[in-house]
Amino acid sequence: MLTFLIRRILYVVPIAIGVTFFVFSLVHLAPGDPLSAVVAGDAPREVVDMLRAAYGFDQPMIVQYLRWVARALSGDLGRSLATGRPVAAEMFAAIGNSVLLAFLAAAIGFTLGAILGGIAGYAQSSWLDKLASLIAILGVSVPHYWLGMVLVILFSVNMNALPAIGIGPAGSAFWLWTRTDWSHAILPAVTLSVIPMGIVTRTVRATVAETLAMEFVQALKAKGLPGHAVLLHVVRNVAPVCLAVMGLQFGYLLGGSILVETVFSWPGTGFLLNDAIFRRDIPMLQGVILVLAMFFVLLNLLVDIVQTLVDPRIRRG
């Protein structure tokens, strides 16, 4: 098992190299001169050349790549073309806000999903199962950016019960743990939670149903084990699969919140990414994507490790 874990951890290295290379080459996929974001079209040639040298765009690609990786390793993701501030500093608060939103959404989605899925799996083909399956289908099929709008219409416009945009009172960019801040988080968190809710419901339902159909459960029942004790055995078999799915879903919540953050003007990484795209702020774009992708890589690693520790069947590589 130790060998497997070490192998798995070492495997992050080639993946990370691949990810950095992909993120770096995104710049070169982009049409137009990356400098166009900072320099006016009619700027004097010398100024353009000077800036190009200053940002390192005059070097060969491989040199630019290695420099970029070396600096990224030391925490320096370059400076934003739009604001001139370091990318890392701009991202710091945004990451916190996104993680917060992801945690809230995960708490809602995973709890509901586990409950709905468990009920559906246990009471297969009953009306409860059908209802849970319908909710799950709607959850995975709903365009969540639209759901966000609908929730705003219902709760902000019609009922005037919850704020529609921002992370707190007008102008604030940080979470402050006040009641107002909580009320700001409700709609985006609920919106973001529907997809993981649907996926977790479907996974839990399928795994529970599959486990219940196994002969060892019949054997447990046959030897007269009480229902709650059988349930414990089922949970122990269902947990590893569901934990893995939840881990990945958490990663998707963090990396996929851009649409919801845009709808609710939530100042997270997605919002930052949106800004960077429309200002053609390449260093910012690269920085945000790189950090989110690396986070996802590490999360995958964590999920694999936890799953290896929890599930005795996959201890062999």
> Rule CB under 8 A: which residues touch another protein?
3, 6-7, 10, 14-15, 18-19, 22-23, 26-27, 29-31, 137-138, 140-147, 149-150, 152-153, 157-158, 251-252, 254-256, 258-259, 262, 273-274, 276-278, 285, 289, 292-294, 296-297, 300, 317
Query: Taking the complex as a whole, how short is the minimal distance between the CB of residue 269 and another protein, in angstroms?
Result: 9
Distance CA 78, CA 67 (A): 11
Cβ proximity to another protein, 64 vs 262, nearer residue: 262
Query: Taking the complex as a whole, how short is the minimal distance between the CB of residue 289 and another protein, in angstroms?
Result: 5
Cβ proximity to another protein, 10 vs 170, nearer residue: 10
Query: Taking the complex as a whole, how short is the minimal distance between the CB of residue 17 and another protein, in angstroms?
Result: 9
Query: Taking the complex as a whole, how short is the minimal distance between the CB of residue 284 and another protein, in angstroms?
Result: 11
Distance CA 20, CA 207 (A): 36
Residue 10 is encoded by which pair of tokens? 């070492």
Cβ proximity to another protein, 57 vs 145, nearer residue: 145
Query: Taking the complex as a whole, how short is the minimal distance between the CB of residue 52 and another protein, in angstroms?
Result: 19
Cβ proximity to another protein, 128 vs 231, nearer residue: 128
Cβ proximity to another protein, 65 vs 296, nearer residue: 296
